Chains A and B, each alone.
Chain A
Amino acid sequence: MVVGLAVVLLCQLLGEIFAYTTHLPVPAPVVGLVLLFGFFLVRDRWEWLPFSLRSEEIDKTCETLVQQMALLFVPAGVGIVQRLGILEANVVGVLAIIVVTTGFSIAVTAYTFRLVSRWFPAPTESQE
């Protein structure tokens, strides 16, 4: 758990440093994701990494975080109690934004994905 959390936080921290120093509009956790992906690639190829970095613990920490992701949105969601006034005053428009644009977004994205994957069918396993 400790080594897993340390690696994940380190990736995020490096992401923060990257975003701060380059002034690029990239979110630090997303940079951290890319870095951790790179770490996994390196880990499974090179045997010389210290044992603690090769342990299953890192995978287990990531699994736990991903599995429990929904819980992590609760505190921000409860923040609604703070903004009831402005939301109530614009309830129809806000609900439209929340429901209509989200449904639209899912539909457009899924249709585009399906359309383009018909134009460019995925190469079969044997071509790898």
Chain B
Amino acid sequence: MNASEGLWAHLTGGALFWLTLTLVVYTIVDRLSLLARRNPLANPVLHSVWVIGTILVASGTPYETYFDGAYFIHFLLGPATVALALPLYENRRVVLRSLVPIVAALAVGSAATIGSVIVCAAIFDLPAMITISSLPKSATSGVAMGISESVGGDASLTAIIVVATGIAGAVMATPLLNVLHITDRRARGFAVGLAAHGVGTARAFQVHPLTGTFAGVGMSLNGLLTAVLVPLAASLIGG
């Protein structure tokens, strides 16, 4: 083994390299997304994931090695959820005035999401493990992984499906809501946050602060309700 191979092995075996790579790739991709005027298809999470994933596969690096470094970022998912208290607090009056539609949309949206996963899984005859792991797909990663574990799902699979859901929601929300002629920023934000959690909420904040705030409300409330509904749904389908 020559010196450069030794250095490469030394670096890619440690946490520093992968943490740095994640930040560098995300920064570049996020800047490109800005250059693309925040086009939904230029979603920074989507493009960071495939770029980093390709580097891992090409270099034969196990995910565990990568995650040792990336964990420092992953850990902040919980604190970021807590931090949503700030936009919620700043907009508490407008949120409070919309309390009735919020509660109604939460109940219908959360139940419809879980129900549609069960129906979809039945149509495509998916293995029970995928179905169970997909039930909390609209809750934010940290929350969904906990729920998945508690009902016997595969937390890693849940994390992937959750992030993919977030990306899909963030990409399709703007065109979809335009086609549906939903112009109310509160309704748009709440729906994106409920369905596509933090990735959708990040997208909503790019569009407008009020949309983002309602997305944050939708995301947090659905995190709560999903934690209650998924165990019920799992026992219903015999998970």
Q: Give me the interface of A with B, judged by CB distance under 8 Å.
A: 5, 8-9, 11-12, 15, 25-30, 32-37, 39-41, 59, 61-63, 65-83, 86-87, 90, 92-94, 96-114, 116-117, 119-120, 122-123, 128
Contact = CB atoms under 8 A, between A and B. Distances in A.
A111 B187 CA distance: 8
A87 B93 CA distance: 44
B116 to A, nearest CB: 4
A73 B112 contact: no
A76 B163 contact: yes
A71 B176 contact: no
A18 to B, nearest CB: 13
Q: Is the interface of B mostly helix, strand, loop or mixed?
A: helix
B198 A72 contact: yes
B202 A65 contact: no
Interface string B169-208: 1001100110010101011101110111011011101000
B149 to A, nearest CB: 12
7 contacts: A26-B227, A66-B80, A75-B22, A79-B156, A80-B164, A81-B63, A90-B127
A104 B112 contact: yes
A67 to B, nearest CB: 7
Give the interface residue-count category, chain B: 35 or more
- Give 9 closest A-B pairs by Cβ, nearest first: A93-B124, A109-B109, A75-B70, A36-B85, A77-B163, A29-B81, A110-B191, A70-B202, A62-B86
A29 B116 contact: no
B104 interface: yes
A102 B165 contact: yes
Given A99-B168, A117-B186, A29 B117 contact: no
A109 B194 contact: yes
Contact of B116 (A37, A70, A105): A105
Nearest to A63: B86
B190 A102 contact: no
Contacts of B238: none
Contacts of B76: 65, 72
Q: Is the interface of A mostly helix, strand, loop or mixed?
A: helix
B120 A100 contact: yes
Contacts of B80: 65-66, 68-69, 72
Contacts of B88: 33, 37
B53 A78 contact: yes
A74 B70 contact: yes
B109 A108 contact: yes
A62 B76 CA distance: 11
Contacts of B184: 113-114, 117
B160 A30 contact: no
Nearest to B61: A81
Interface in B101-117: 101-102, 104-106, 108-109, 112-113, 116-117
Given A74-B45, A120-B100, A113 B137 contact: no
B125 interface: yes
Contacts of B44: 70-71
A93 B81 contact: no
A104 B169 CA distance: 10
Given A65-B83, A74-B26, A79-B160, A106 B143 contact: no
A63 B220 CA distance: 16
B130 A90 contact: yes
Contact of B146 (A27, A61, A76, A102): A27
Contacts of B182: 110-111, 114
